Structure 1
């Protein structure tokens, strides 16, 4: 089944996040052109928010290069705007949900999913763990329902313990998704986070099963696949076992630079999808 998987690479348009785990950084047009030249099927874009993206222009740039938009990240909601879905303040939670819905409108118009990762927030001395989990589920319910009109899912990403105390494992993510009353929220399984939190990455992917909707294809140290110590054979076998046919997306550090990181990712995807 691995031959059905598609390749994807990340583009960041958020200067405040420079140095973070996104491969391409040098503007939308240049990055899309380079992704196409390397043979990627799609891009995942990390932007400042919906207002910073021109849907028509983005569609034209992608069409011109024969690429799809796989997903839009919402992380700038937290990194740039200080918004998170488990905020103690109800008005801030509403702003956060609106930020997500606005990006769903942009991505959905181009057939792309939207990701909730760092915006999920965390519990603290103002918000108990049960209350934070409730706020998160409310937001996932809201976003999942909003995305239905576009025929795309909302993607939810468990993060490692150093980034959130909300949800750290695939099993916990499955529990959250199955508690919702809609079936339009899927899991984004990031191999970097999984390397920290899971006992066995392949087993966790099998546990995710039908809920797995997107893969961040990256190595143990957040460098491109093949530049760390992950054993990709069992991981790819697990993805084949669950009939995963979505994107393998490089949300990786631009190591040693963007060009080589992109090229290494494509080499790794070609190798592992042709076994």
Structure 2
């Protein structure tokens, strides 16, 4: 398993669960200094990412780009994939495709989280799920050209009426015609929704494509009550060799949150 940390470039999300906030260059250099393997970037849109410059920063630091988030599509632009309006849904899909294209240059995945539709989205649940499936079909097929999957994240019940558990996520992915969508299993959301996080990961098996490595209170790993031994054992059991990515509040501050996560990562993966 490999280490990863989130960098946010979205001012509207300040105060949210992203660790580093000091811009790409400073954040990438600091992540490299601490020994991280990769970064996950949350950007307002592809227009703020200079792919050549980002590539040079990553190469200099010896880091990979693990993923690009699409959440700003909702947080900043109020686009959601389950919008009742067909024109807005297509706008949302186009936004996702731009993120896929940018990430794909780096062999990285795009993540669908809050763009799936928030807890208060309009329309009935079955229709909303149908719209989400259509978007995942589109995004998964689009991502295939880069030989990377599209990553879909089940959220807790307070953030979505779509998939809230790994089992529900797996069931939805199995219903798709594309085989190029995988699950992001966020330990914070799982702590709310799953009876057993470890059992859910084992049941998720091959569908588990990315992990958000965070504690029960959304603080960095080790600052809540999450029990990580069974979780790491479950991930090893399913042969997971992807990223454990810190998507946590920058508590007590970004630099210490990054250091705490790396200490925890080394403890749990090297023991």
The 2-side partners of 1:48 and 1:40 are apart by: 24
SS at match of 2:146: coil
The 1-side partners of 2:122 and 2:6 are apart by: 34
Question: Between Structure 1 and Structure 2, how many residues are aligned?
Answer: 271
The 1-side partners of 2:123 and 2:106 are apart by: 36
Q: 1:228 to 1:51 in 2, by over 3 A?
A: same
TM-score by length of 2: 0.99
TM-score by length of 1: 0.97
83, 91, 99: which one pairs with 1:103?
Answer: 99
Q: Unaligned stretches of 5+ in structure 1?
A: none
1:216 aligns with 2:219: no
1:128 is displaced (CA, Å) by 1.0
The 1-side partners of 2:119 and 2:65 are apart by: 33
The 2-side partners of 1:79 and 1:48 are apart by: 9
1:12 aligns with 2:8: yes
Q: How does 1:1-275 map to 2 (within 5 A)?
A: 5-122=1-118, 126-275=122-271
- Alpha carbons 1:188, 1:213 under 8 Å: kept: yes
The 2-side partners of 1:34 and 1:152 are apart by: 27
The 2-side partners of 1:260 and 1:63 are apart by: 25
Alignment RMSD:
0.9
1:123 is displaced (CA, Å) by 7.2
SS at match of 1:226: coil
Q: Unaligned stretches of 5+ in structure 2?
A: none
SS at match of 2:231: helix
Moved over 3 A (4+): 122-126
